[in-house]
Amino acid sequence: MDTKNYNQCVDLYSDRVYRYILKSTKDADQAKDIVQDAFVRLWESHTEVMFEKSKSWLFTTAYRIMIDGIRKNSKISRMESHHPEPQHTRHWSDLQEVLHQALGELPEIQRQLVLLRDYEGYSYEEIGEITHLNPSQVKVYIFRARKRLKDHLVSMDLHI
């Protein structure tokens, strides 16, 4: 990949990678850092990465950087004491807020797969390449995630 192709990658994919990571981390600064790190790594590997594969390569790299950060933070948080937040009833007025809250309750792998499939529009095969899962595993995880989301939304409807 040459400089022109690299700049095209930045123009074409930086916003999409950022949105994906932001939805996963819910931290704009962290998402910017991850995207920047992914593009730095792309430039460092520009002689090995073909332009046609750069989109998948960027999402895979950003995903791995994010997961590494999550693992690192979970180790740190286990060392610190946690105080549970008080539970209270919420009345939802915004569907998007409800969906974000429901996504946040999914296991990490299911949330990532739903974001890649439903928010970013990747095929099962592409998601498999990014996450190193086979397409049938991807389908099962997404099915289970969607079922949990549906159950969550139905249970909220019953409580209103």
Helix intervals (H) in the chain? 3-25, 28-44, 54-79, 95-104, 108-114, 124-131, 135-159
pLDDT digits (tens, 9 = 90+) for 56-106: 899 999 988 988 887 777 666 555 544 444 444 454 456 677 778 888 888
pLDDT digits (tens, 9 = 90+) for 73-87: 766 655 554 444 444
Give yes or no: residues 100 and 151 share one domain: yes
Helical axes 124-131 vs 135-159, angle rounded to 10°: 100
- The CB density around residue 9, as the number of other CB atoms within 10 Å, is 22
Whether 112 maps to a domain, the answer reads yes
Give yes or no: residues 61 and 113 share one domain: no
* Mean pLDDT value of segment 111-118: 89
Whether 86 maps to a domain, the answer reads no
Per the structure block, which two tokens stand in for 74? 């979970």
Whether 138 maps to a domain, the answer reads yes
Q: Last residue of some domain: 79, 109, 142? A: 79
* Mean pLDDT value of segment 38-47: 92
Q: Last residue of some domain: 52, 79, 106? A: 79
Domain count, the chain: 2
The pTM of this model reads 0.60
**In terms of residue numbers, what domain contains 128?**
93-160
Q: Any idea what the CATH number is for the domain that residue 147 is in?
A: 1.10.10.10
Whether 84 maps to a domain, the answer reads no
34, 38, 40: which is closest to 21 by C-alpha? Answer: 34
Q: Last residue of some domain: 31, 48, 79? A: 79
Q: How far apart (Å, rounded) are the C-alpha atoms in residues 91 and 7?
A: 45
Give yes or no: residues 118 and 140 share one domain: yes
Whole-angstrom Cα Rg for the chain: 18
Q: Give the residue, 70 or 115, on which the prediction is more confident.
A: 115
